[in-house]
Copies of this chain bind each other. A is one copy, B any other.
């Protein structure tokens, strides 16, 4: 249970209704997450007037930083930044938001088949057959992924066959050992909030390719989990919203988007905006909940029915100190028991307080999402105790965020195509519909699903609009 959030600063109109007013701007942006704010900022920089409407009373979308005292924060949403995530890195530099290395010193833990073991480096000691199996599976996936252009996965050689099977089917056929299968399943729960059966193999390959490979996706050092933001990842959105000032309206859930001749009219609970173009920076499933006049074309609507958001709960236990560090542990762990199947040390840069982060994803998130918070907390902390010992039993504070329960997110960390989805509807993912342009990390071709992808999607949508204005 979370209490209080890092709010948008005072210069942002937080939910103040502008009754009766019809605002005018060149562009209206729907959604003030990283994608929407990046688009709004880029459009503004290009000389266009812009208004961004956000349903929540805060900006940041799937980034959300929770204060833990002394000006420090923990990230309840997207947290990390890694090499080659150049657009979010450039944004952070511009905004003056520093990063620091994820703590990785010490041995990691793996709980598999009822036993907890320590290991060093990125590969657990699982015996030669398992290591060979993991190695060949990675090699096959990477080789398949090379066929896939992230801009048009449906055009890959053999795309229909790759899209026709679930990732689970591929695993069952290509991975022989139980342990290697478990590792892939565990990874998927955190990377996508999905079980392997929920996803198109083609989507997995698209995602690998967009990230630059499995190592880039899964590694801490040298990979997507390498660094964090000192002031939390939501700071990026908060800084952009500060710069945009009253051009960002929060507490303004968009109800309708009406295209009329040479303009688009966007109605929200708080304000109505008439503009020449709109950028909708929401996950497709949420974008479909807006009422469009004229109605969206069938293929675009059906896309939104075929790209569900993952099921992911971030669970954070805050201790006086990171007690696992003196014990020679990094805080990283994998577990086939869970419910948190992957953990990280998510302490602030100075290591105080000690923060253990557990990802509860896929089936565990769905099962635990139906029980009381006390029961969920107990299950998560019990898991931490099995991994990190009895000192994990009594955190000073426990914070969690079930992204599927968030009304304006409805899942996390990203949306993934079901089998057949790319073939059926992929072409509609970025295609503008009249004066409506689509942003959001799901539309990115580089680091789709990540903050970097969100930033890139905002830049791409802004460029489309600038060219069209």
Contacts and interface: CB of A to CB of B under 8 A. Distances in A.
Given A255-B255, A291-B253, A420 B302 contact: no
A298 B402 contact: yes
A168 interface: yes
A419 B298 contact: no
B166 A424 contact: no
29 contacts: A160-B197, A163-B197, A165-B169, A165-B197, A194-B420, A195-B420, A197-B423, A198-B306, A198-B419, A253-B291, A255-B255, A285-B288, A285-B305, A297-B405, A298-B404, A299-B366, A299-B370, A301-B404, A302-B308, A302-B410, A305-B410, A305-B411, A306-B308, A311-B424, A363-B424, A366-B424, A366-B425, A418-B418, A418-B419
* Leading 6 A-B pairs by shortest Cβ distance: A298-B404, A164-B197, A418-B418, A305-B308, A198-B420, A197-B420
Contacts of A195: 164, 420, 423-424
Nearest to A307: B305
A196 interface: yes
A416 to B, nearest CB: 10
Contact of A164 (B166, B298, B299): B166
Interface in A288-338: 288-289, 291, 295, 297-299, 301-302, 305-309, 311
Contacts of A418: 198, 306, 308, 418-421
Taking residues whose C-beta sits less than 8 angstroms from the other chain, chain A's interface range is 35 or more
B363 A423 contact: yes
Contacts of A70: none
A212 interface: no
A407 interface: yes
A281 B70 CA distance: 51
Nearest to A55: B291
Given A169-B164, A419-B166, A404 B302 contact: yes
B197 A295 contact: no
Interface in A87-119: none
A150 to B, nearest CB: 20
A462 to B, nearest CB: 26
Nearest to A173: B169
A291 to B, nearest CB: 7
A369 interface: yes
Interface of A: 160, 163-166, 168-169, 172, 194-199, 253, 255, 285, 288-289, 291, 295, 297-299, 301-302, 305-309, 311, 363, 366, 369-370, 402, 404-405, 407, 410-411, 418-421, 423-425
Q: How many copies of the chain does the oligomer comprise?
A: 2
Contacts of A295: 405, 407
Given A197-B420, A255-B255, A305-B308, 17 more contacts: A164-B172, A165-B165, A165-B169, A169-B169, A198-B306, A198-B418, A198-B421, A198-B424, A289-B291, A297-B370, A298-B311, A299-B366, A299-B370, A301-B410, A305-B305, A306-B418, A418-B419
A468 B59 CA distance: 41
Given A255-B255, A418-B418, A298 B197 contact: no
A165 B168 contact: yes
Given A166-B166, A166-B420, A168-B165, A309 B302 contact: yes
Contacts of A166: 164-166, 169, 419-420
A419 B308 contact: no
Contacts of A425: 366
A200 to B, nearest CB: 8
A433 to B, nearest CB: 12
From A172, A288, A418, A423, name the one whose CB has the most chain B CB atoms within 10 angstroms: A418
Contact of A302 (B163, B165, B311): B311
A52 B177 CA distance: 56
Contacts of A197: 160, 163-165, 419-420, 423
A436 to B, nearest CB: 15
Contact of A168 (B164, B199, B369, B410): B164
A405 B301 CA distance: 8
B370 A164 contact: no
Contacts of A404: 298-299, 301-302
A155 to B, nearest CB: 15
